[in-house]
Amino acid sequence: MPRSIHIGVSVEPDEVVDRSAHSRVLEVDAGLAVLTERMVTPWVERTPEGFVLDVRVPRLLTHHAQPIDSLPPEVRDLLPASARAGRQVYADDLPAQALDVALDRVLASVAPLQEFHRLGALVFPFPSYFVPGTKALDYLEWLRARAGDLPVAVELRHRDWVETKRRDETMAFLTAQQLSYVCVDVPPNFPTSLPPLAASTTDTAFVRFHGRNGDAWEANADSGDDRFTYDYRRSDLEPWATRLTKLASTAKSVHAIFTTGRADAAARDARTLVKVFTEEPEPDRGPPPGKGNQRGRRPPPRR
């Protein structure tokens, strides 16, 4: 396996330090967290040299709904009365100043990670209704401008971004803006399923493995994290050995992150990918007589 390929999992904020002993890269899910110095400091001081952390930003900044009680106080104070009366809020509900404050809070909180070479990227997974157009491109340019030299990775979940007629335009824009394109593995053949591209637009390539849970994928396409619950088979991941190797030939490093359940569950999938690279495939003997596929679903992740 190319040394530049780093395989990890998505974890909760309180799991980072313990999990850093077992992986060179992790993704911390801060989608509903208020990042603070007290939270981030251990990620710098108590993780090993060479460890890198990707930070999934708060949901508000990716145009998902975010509960108002999970917003930083300085952001809540800037909400109009109409927004404060609800239980959740979207980016479009905020005045520009509030959105600036929300992003600046995140940028300031991860600055120590960048200073001490622990930050892989800020990860922005956008919903399927974040569609190509002037409004979306302006938002991405705003992110890039305010983030300065902090690395930013963008996951796009609407097919029009990478349909053949627009793919080159999207990749050229991300390259010019120094925004990393996030490749994905998802259930195929759904309106919100993007193809398994192996494309990099910066020196670091990103792949997020969301599983193949087709039954749940469309049920809550932009809000239900239970759709990521899945046990990867080796056969699911074997095509990715070629794709990841291709990415490693064009990027300085590759982050392959599994989001398929609680950390222990996702870690099993990560180990399966390692085996794809390092072990010969086992012969397919099929299920024992009289038994079908015993693979059940795991409990939904906590995110």
What is the pLDDT confidence band of residue 215, given thresholds at 50, 70 and 90?
Answer: confident
pLDDT in tens, 222-235: 666 667 888 999 99
pTM above 0.85, yes or no: yes
Q: Environment class of residue 126 by beta-carbon count within 10 Å: exposed (0-12), middle (13-18) or buried (19+)? A: buried
CA 221 to chain centre: 15
Distance in Å from the first CA to the final CA of the chain: 30
Q: Does 301 have pLDDT greater than 80?
A: no
What is the pLDDT confidence band of residue 287, given thresholds at 50, 70 and 90?
Answer: low
Query: Between residues 214 and 256, which one has the greater pLDDT?
Result: 256
Report the pLDDT value the prediction gives residue 1, as an integer from 0 to 100: 86
What is the pLDDT confidence band of residue 291, given thresholds at 50, 70 and 90?
Answer: very low
pLDDT in tens, 138-191: 999 999 999 999 999 999 999 999 988 899 999 999 999 999 999 999 998 888
Report the pLDDT value the prediction gives residue 221, as an integer from 0 to 100: 64
Are 26 and 54 a contacting pair, CB within 8 Å? yes
Report the pLDDT value the prediction gives residue 220, as an integer from 0 to 100: 65
Report the pLDDT value the prediction gives residue 283, as an integer from 0 to 100: 64
Q: How large is the average pLDDT for residues 210-226?
A: 75
Report the pLDDT value the prediction gives residue 82, as an integer from 0 to 100: 84
Percent of the chain exceeding pLDDT 70 equals 90
Report the pLDDT value the prediction gives residue 295, as an integer from 0 to 100: 42
Give the DSSP letter string of 130-166.
--SSHHHHHHHHHHHHHHTTS-EEEE--SGGGTSHHH
Give the DSSP letter string of the chain.
--TTEEEEEEE-GGGHHHHTTT-SEEEEE-TT----HHHHHHHHHSS-TT-EEEEEPPGGGGT--EEGGGS-HHHHTTS-HHHHTSSEE-GGGS-HHHHHHHHHHHHHHHHHHHHTT-EEEEEEE--TT--SSHHHHHHHHHHHHHHTTS-EEEE--SGGGTSHHHHHHHHHHHHHHTEEEEEEE--SSSTTPPP-----SSSEEEEEE----HHHHTTTTTT-GGGG-----HHHHHHHHHHHHHHHHHSSEEEEEE-SSSHHHHHHHHHHHHHHHHSPPPP---SPTT-----PPPPPP--
Percent of the chain exceeding pLDDT 90 equals 74
Strand 25-29 relative to strand 119-125, pairing: unpaired
Contacts of 267 (CB under 8 A, 6+ apart): 9, 22, 258
Q: Does 296 have pLDDT greater than 80?
A: no
Query: Between residues 30 and 298, which one has the greater pLDDT?
Result: 30
Crossing angle for the helix pair 263-278 and 234-250, nearest 10 degrees?
70
pLDDT in tens, 239-286: 999 999 999 999 999 999 999 987 788 999 999 999 999 987 766 655
pLDDT in tens, 109-136: 999 999 999 999 999 999 999 999 999 9
Report the pLDDT value the prediction gives residue 214, as an integer from 0 to 100: 82
* Count of alpha carbons within 13 angstroms of residue 226, beta-carbon side: 9
Distance CA 226, CA 248 (A): 31
CB atoms within 10 A of CB 83: 17
Average pLDDT of every residue of the chain: 89
Distance CA 29, CA 195 (A): 24
Q: Which two tokens stand for residue 231?
A: 């046990």
